[in-house]
Amino acid sequence: MADLLELTATEMTAALERRETTSRDLVAASLARMASLDGQVHAFLSTRSEAARKEAEAIDRRRLAGEKLGPLAGLPVAIKDNLCTSDGLPTTCASRMLEKFHAPYDANVVEKIRAADGVIVGKTNLDEFAMGSSTENSAFGPTHNPWNLDLVPGGSSGGSAAAVAARMAPLALGSDTGGSIRLPASLCGVVGLKPTYGRVSRYGLVAFASSLDQIGPFGRTVADVALMLQVIAGWDGRDSTSVNRPAPDYAAAVRSASAQGLRIGLPREFFAAGLDAEVERLVREAIAVYEKAGAKLVEVSLPHFAYAVETYYIVATAECSSNLARYDGVHYGHRTAEPSDLIEMMSRSRAEGFGPEVKRRIMLGTYVLSSGYYDAYYLKALKVRQLIKGDLDRAFAQVDCLMGPTSPTAAWPLGAKTADPLAMYLSDIYTVSANLATIPAVSVPCGFTAAGLPVGLQIMGDVFTEDRLLAAAAIIERERQDWQRRPGMLAGDGKAVQT
């Protein structure tokens, strides 16, 4: 066959079933691509080459023997490195604090991938403890955008998005606390879904902000994302926030996608000041495709949208301060060398183990939770969070989904926002509301800038409507076929070479 890695995950599955290729060949191609390109992209923090090859060969033997295989049988999968794995790879969260930590168990989603016969090829880079929008906060160096290596891939799940965009793996998992799946999906030209809070178990996900975190899939196409979501969705008694609700047939929803009668809400606040003109044009052109295909466009308003970023960064940092208090140099994680007493051990261990952005968020969170400021900041933010959710609830009473940009800009240069935390935080302006309201949202490619950079269309829906969101995303994908465009570094034409 031609280049195996140009196949989508669903195409790979079909080729395997027809015996046109083998899992061994797919995994070998994935590992070879990683070896060839990851020195430039830095999508992975660790790989499991030999174990992956052996698993692939075992799956091939089972297939030849006529055994029933799982839905991911033989497919290479990349895992964000804040998901616990017990297979010998560390779970670092891209932090010196956990550089040598080996989890004693698998995350629920990892268990499900293994049970579905997926082959995990490695763990991907991220902003430290998933705190960032560019994957520049990693203690082990930034990830580069495959479309232009001088640019960021988005964050915090930038390694997973870059791995899929660079065809190193057809499927990947990330986590999304305020846009950490959708933003890198947009900037890297792939599909990324944040499911409803509770749809996917968080057991084994290293916590950042527990009321906001959610695990979700990346893929080159909507059908690929539907395939992965079908595997990881479902109730888990080890996660107290997991919802015991059956998952629909996501693949069937994608296959039957139609714009006829679809009511699309356009929040006027999504198309205001701060949105790059080229991004707005591409997003509006994509929405026009839906209208031409039979959808009805409805202008809606989200009056409290203006407070979403501030609300998010109070709630998220407060929960971050609480969750990261466990890293004290006592039970596990980094411990400073030869401390003189307990207090010095804790303070020095944390100072040495955490990077600047994590320290910033811990301090902000500790401040808003402190005596005298709890009511003024944290309690008020919780009230505004409910107002934001109320705005979205009223919007979904009128429409089936909301559409707008995923990111206010296309990918930006490495280092351009690292000195200005506020500018970096505003990269999440269109994504944080979904996390605050616990609703699902997906980013799907909707065009390219004049500089050849991908732009994402964000589609948001009411709780547990992932099937409708994926069906809606499949429409623009089918009409535009943007997913077929390849980063320059894959074509060898120099467009993604650092200058």
- Here the tokens at position 79 are 């895992």
Scan for tokens 């926030």, then name that residue.
241
- Residue 464 CB partners (closer than 8 Å, separation 6+): 196, 199, 243, 245, 440
Strand order in the sheet with 401-405: 44-47, 119-124, 76-80, 171-175, 215-219, 191-194, 441-448, 454-460, 401-405, 263-267, 296-300
- CA dist 473 and 470 (Å) reads 5
Residues whose CB falls within 8 Å of the CB of residue 457, separated by 6 or more in sequence, listed in order:
283, 286, 287, 403, 404, 405, 406, 443, 444, 445, 446, 473, 476
Question: What values do phi and psi take at 173, rounded to 5?
Answer: -110, 145
Q: How many whole angstroms separate alpha carbon 309 and alpha carbon 23?
A: 44
- The long-range contacts involving 61-69, CB below 8 angstroms and separated by at least 24 positions, are 63/16, 63/23, 69/117
Q: Which of 95, 134, 175, 180 is catalytic?
A: 180
Q: Minimal CA–CA distance to 360: which of 430, 414, 424?
A: 424
Bridge-partner residues for 219, per DSSP?
171, 191
Q: 180 catalytic, yes or no?
A: yes
Of 23, 30, 80, 433, which one is the catalytic site residue? 80
Choice among 133, 134, 156, 186 that is catalytic = 156
What amino acid occupies position 198?
G
Any alpha helices (H) in 370-398, and if so which ranges? 380-396
Q: Which residues are catalytic?
A: 80, 156, 180
